[in-house]
Each structure stands twice: as C-alpha cells, then as structure tokens.
Amino acid sequence: MTNNINHLLSDALWKIYNRPDRPAPWTGGGNLPWDDPAFSERMLREHLDESHGAASRVTAERAMLLDWLWQKLGLQPGMRLLDVTCGPGLYAVELARRGCEVVGVDFSPASIAHAKELAVSQGVTSRCTFIQQDVRQMDYGQAGFDAALFIYGQLAVFKREEAQALLTQIAQALKPGGKLVVELLDQERVDKTKSSWWFTDHKGLWGDKPFLHLGERFWNEAEQISIERFYIIHLETGEFNAITLCDQTYALETMTGMMQQAGFAAVDTYPRWGEVPVYDAKEWVVYVGGKV
C-alpha cells in the first residue's frame, strides 16, 4: 500500500513538473466541480462560514445588499423573482420572507438541499422553488418574472457566448419592465499579474484529510480572461486533482452592450455597489437592466 501511494505521489509531482507553461482558456470546462456531491458539501460549508465572505457575504453585509436590491428592483410582496446560481438560498429565502415568490436555480446538490431546508425553517416553502440544474440548460419560460438576480460574479464563469445566451434567456423570462441585476468584477481591478502560491491543510474546500494545494494565476490579454490553475495532491492516498478556473471579465461598455443586445433597453451601472459599505465593494460593478 505504501509503495503504491508513493508511486501515485511521484506521478502527481511529475505531472505538475510537465504541465503546460500556460493553460488554454476553458481547459477541462474551465470551472469548479459544482455538482460533485462531496465538493458541493465542502463548498456549502464555505458559504455558511461567517468568518469570511469568499463564497457568500456575511449576514450583516448581505442584509445591506438585500435592502439595496429590494429598492433598485422595485420589489413588492407578491412579485416573482428568479435567482440564477442561487447557491444555498441566502438571498432567495430572505426575499421570499419579504413576500416575493422565488425560483432559485443552482448546480450544487448540497446548496439546493440547504436552500430547501432554509425555506422550511423560515416558513416560506410555499413561496420558494429550488431547482438543481445547470443554469445553461434551464427553461426559464416566457415573461413570468418581475425581476432576476445573477450576482457575485457567477456570469463570469461561462464563456462569452454562453453568457450572452443566458442574458437573452433571462430577458425573455422577464415581464415587460422587469429588471435584472448582474454583479461582475471590475475589469480594471482584476489582478493581471502572473502569480503562484501553495499551502497545506487537512480540512478545507479541497478535502477533509491532509492535502497539498498548488495554485497559479494567469491573465489572457487577448480574451480578457483571468485563469487560475489548481493542483491538489491528497497526501494519504496519492489522489491527484487538476482544476482550471476561468473568469471572463468585461469592460463596462461591453457588458452594457451585451445586456442591451439581450433585450434590456436601459442599463444602469453601479461601481462599488453604489457605495454600499461591503468590505470588497471596490472590486465590483453592478449592472441593473430594465427589459423593453
């Protein structure tokens, strides 16, 4: 057994040594394994961790953003809201508690299970529908929603043509005058320097037994994509994982144009979340589009 593990560890290190100098965009799909049950459980743990805002913003900041969204979207009790990549339902359930009828869609089985449990605990199951599905494959229907959310940078994990298709689908799902909020990283503030890092841990996003994580970041200037390449070696078993994560960035005028092309007549932009005092507000731009 020990010899086999040593062989696997050695093989993993040689794979890292012989890696391509720069990863091509969207290698292996260019995304995290959101629908893997074990990974989704670990990601859910990060979503619910109040010590950081890396997966979901902490409760106090989320409360401020919910008030902002309620006002900018002109929400009222009884309105229908679509939450695309809803995660564990932290926004959707609160908006349902305020009286909205909410449909949330996410690829993560653990997040969807938690969203359903949260709706039960808050007594809003009759106003919440949560669906586990790839948002690119979802049928959102026609003109059934008053508003939609696509927040925390999730549109950026899709190729540009997929993002355009999603924006068009969401526009079609909105009633005339319905509004969509899109939150994306400010392209001007994205870290474009090549960098690398490593760490070891025994519990975290990559596993719950000792592992070594090696990471690299690249900037693809031609396509305006930030690419991160992760290598994870599980030290007790020798298991090796290689993951490439792409973030497609957009200039303000590009995303505004894409939303207009999708069917949003007016698009307002709010750098820094319109000065809502969340800790990382300066990193983000929020777009609010109104459907024709």
Which pLDDT belongs to residue 137?
96
CA 20, 24, 25, 29 dihedral sign is negative
**Percent of the chain residues past pLDDT 90, beyond the cut:** 98
Report whether pLDDT(35) > 90.
yes
Q: Could you give all domains of the chain from N- to C-terminal order, each with its CATH number?
A: 2-30+191-248 (no CATH), 39-188+251-291 (3.40.50.150)
Q: Which amino acid belongs to residue 60?
A: A
SS3 content of the chain, % helix, strand, coil (to 5): 40, 30, 30
**What pLDDT digit, counting tens, does each position of 205-263 carry?**
999 999 999 999 999 999 999 999 999 999 999 999 999 999 999 999 999 999 999 99
pLDDT, the chain, mean: 97
Report whether pLDDT(1) > 80.
no
Q: Which residues lie below 8 Å from residue 148, measured CB to CB, with a gap of 6+?
A: 81, 82, 83, 84, 170, 173, 174, 178, 179, 180, 181
Which pLDDT belongs to residue 42?
97
Q: How many CB atoms lie within 10 A of CB 292?
A: 13
What mean pLDDT is predicted for residues 137-164?
A: 97
Where residue 292 falls among pLDDT bands split at 50, 70, 90? confident
**What pLDDT digit, counting tens, does each position of 111-122 carry?**
999 999 999 999
Beta strand 145-150 with 174-185: parallel, antiparallel or unpaired? parallel
User: By three-state DSSP, how is residue 100 classified?
Assistant: coil
Which pLDDT belongs to residue 2?
82
**What pLDDT digit, counting tens, does each position of 81-102 carry?**
999 999 999 999 999 999 999 9
CA-based end-to-end distance of the chain: 64
Alpha-carbon distance of 177 to 155, in angstroms, equals: 22
Which pLDDT belongs to residue 248?
98
